[in-house]
């Protein structure tokens, strides 16, 4: 057994249990959104298999991009871990981004602490880990709603303070959330602020456009239609959209693309790729006007 300090990400697909228990009413549009044309496969288990396959593909892409991390998938959830805390954080941001773009709604918990990893295991059966960071990551995952990452002060301090300036995350990457019923506080790791491959080389306009792309997908992609058919799933989507859309004002203070949970819950949004593309085109045009005006003002000064 080997014990060391590191970071652990636990990520889980939202809604799978309701899906496999036949609590979700699947329609033709849901199957077609995933390219399932064979009607003999039109059932919740085949649909779930397509979701898990897409989830696994995203995990493979993440491992390829960040080779220093370890990944273990357990059906509809996965663990990602490493001694390299920054790599786990970047992998978390990248993974959450490509999951949304793929059409898989996930939530995660990420923690820093002790990791215990067996030295010799039969890897043909899969890898496994345990320890304080693992326990905390699983606990954090259930602290909120939506495709978000929840964490605690140890990880926040490690990424924002306990490292060279060139390798620190900005404090704004994290925000404390308080439960008004219990007074309990949990930190959110706002992965959607830096979803591009090498964040530092992209300007605010590019980051903002990437954020708009994610929001348009959550609001209109037909692949999330099945999530929106239940109140629980619609709430997960609403909390996702509310969090990501609020972040647009970090780039465009006057942004009108901010939506509340109540607004989303009360709306009956159509889900179609043409609507998704139209939304993004409209929003990106509005944003371009803002950034053009901003550059003009800066050039005058």
Domain range holding 27? 2-300
Once rounded to an integer, what is the mean pLDDT over residues 16-37?
94
Q: How confident is the model at residue 165 (pLDDT cuts 50, 70, 90)?
A: confident
- CA distances (Å), origin 251, targets 90, 95, 196, 246: 21, 22, 15, 10
The answer to whether the beta carbons of residues 249 and 207 sit under 8 Å apart is: no
Total number of domains in the chain: 1
pLDDT of residue 195: 43
Average pLDDT (170-174) is 90
Per-residue pLDDT reduced to its tens digit, 187-228: 999 999 864 445 544 688 888 999 999 999 999 999 999 999
**pLDDT digits 0-9 by tens, 249-283:** 999 998 999 999 999 999 988 999 999 999 999 99
Residue 19: phi and psi, rounded to 5, are -65, -50
Q: Which is nearest to 45 in space by CA: 76, 87, 90, 5? A: 76
Q: What is the CA radius of gyration of the chain?
A: 20
CATH of the domain at 147: 3.30.70.1230
Structure tokens at 128: 């496994």
pLDDT of residue 299: 75
pLDDT digits (tens, 9 = 90+) for 95-135: 999 999 999 999 999 999 999 988 766 565 667 789 999 99
For position 202, what pLDDT does the model report? Answer: 64
Q: Looking at the predicted structure, is the pLDDT value of residue 167 above 90? A: no
Q: Report pTM.
A: 0.94
């Amino acid at each position: 057994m080997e014990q060391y300090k590191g970071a652990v990400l636990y990520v889980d697909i939202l809604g799978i249990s309701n899906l496999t228990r036949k609590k979700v009413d699947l329609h033709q549009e849901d199957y077609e959104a995933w390219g399932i044309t064979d009607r003999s496969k039109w059932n919740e288990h085949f649909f779930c298999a397509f979701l898990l396959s897409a989830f696994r593909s995203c995990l493979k892409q993440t491992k390829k991009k960040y080779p220093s991390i370890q990944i273990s998938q357990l059906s509809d959830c996965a663990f990602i871990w490493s001694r390299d805390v920054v790599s786990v954080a970047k992998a978390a941001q990248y993974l959450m981004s490509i999951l949304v773009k793929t059409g898989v709604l996930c939530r995660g918990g990420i923690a820093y602490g002790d990791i215990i990893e067996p030295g010799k295991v039969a890897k043909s059966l899969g890898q496994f880990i345990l320890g304080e960071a693992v326990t905390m990551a699983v606990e954090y995952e259930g602290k909120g709603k939506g495709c978000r990452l929840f964490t605690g002060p140890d990880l926040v301090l490690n990424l924002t303070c306990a490292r060279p300036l060139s390798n620190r995350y900005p404090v704004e990457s994290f925000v404390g959330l308080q439960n008004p019923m219990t007074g309990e506080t949990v930190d959110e790791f706002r992965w959607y602020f830096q979803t591009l491959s090498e964040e530092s080389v992209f300007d605010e306009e590019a980051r903002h456009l990437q954020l708009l792309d994610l929001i348009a997908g959550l609001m209109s992609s037909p692949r999330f239609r099945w999530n929106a058919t239940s109140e629980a799933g619609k709430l997960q989507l609403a909390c996702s959209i509310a969090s990501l859309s609020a972040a647009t004002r970090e780039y465009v203070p006057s942004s009108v693309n901010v939506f509340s949970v109540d607004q989303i819950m009360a709306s009956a949004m159509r889900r179609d790729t043409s609507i998704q593309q139209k939304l993004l085109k409209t929003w990106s045009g509005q944003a371009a006007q803002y950034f053009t005006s901003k550059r003009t003002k800066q050039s005058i000064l």
